[in-house]
Amino acid sequence: MPAIEASQLKKKPPPLEKVSWQWLPFASSARKDNLHLYHWVRVVNGVPPTGDYSFAKYNKVNVSLLCLHACLALLDF
């Protein structure tokens, strides 16, 4: 029976995807001022992610609450 070296058992298999990180611009659909910010993005096989900023869904404000707050402020409540 052939012997297997311990270093062979600890080796990781070669990755199927090449993963890198790039400093890329992004725009959030939650903002109306077309502000472009930058952050680190995980790029797989040289293809950066597309679509809306993943956290934009958390940045939307309930307009009815803002209007209610503004109306109450005008009435000195």
Buried b (16+ CB within 10 A) or exposed e, 31-48: eeeeeeeeeeeeeeeeee
The more confident residue out of 64 and 73 is: 73
- Enclosing domain of residue 64: 15-74
Number of domains in the chain: 1
Report if residue 57 sits inside a domain.
Answer: yes
Residue 16: predicted pLDDT: 85
**pLDDT greater than 60 at residue 77:** no
Report if residue 3 sits inside a domain.
Answer: no
Report if residue 33 sits inside a domain.
Answer: yes
Residue 60: predicted pLDDT: 65
Q: Can you state the percent helix, strand and coil of the chain, rounding each to 5? A: 25, 25, 50
Report if residue 45 sits inside a domain.
Answer: yes
SS3 label, residue 13: coil
pLDDT tens-digit readout, 18-37: 889 999 988 777 777 888 88
Model pTM score = 0.49
pLDDT grade for 44, boundaries at 50, 70 and 90:
confident
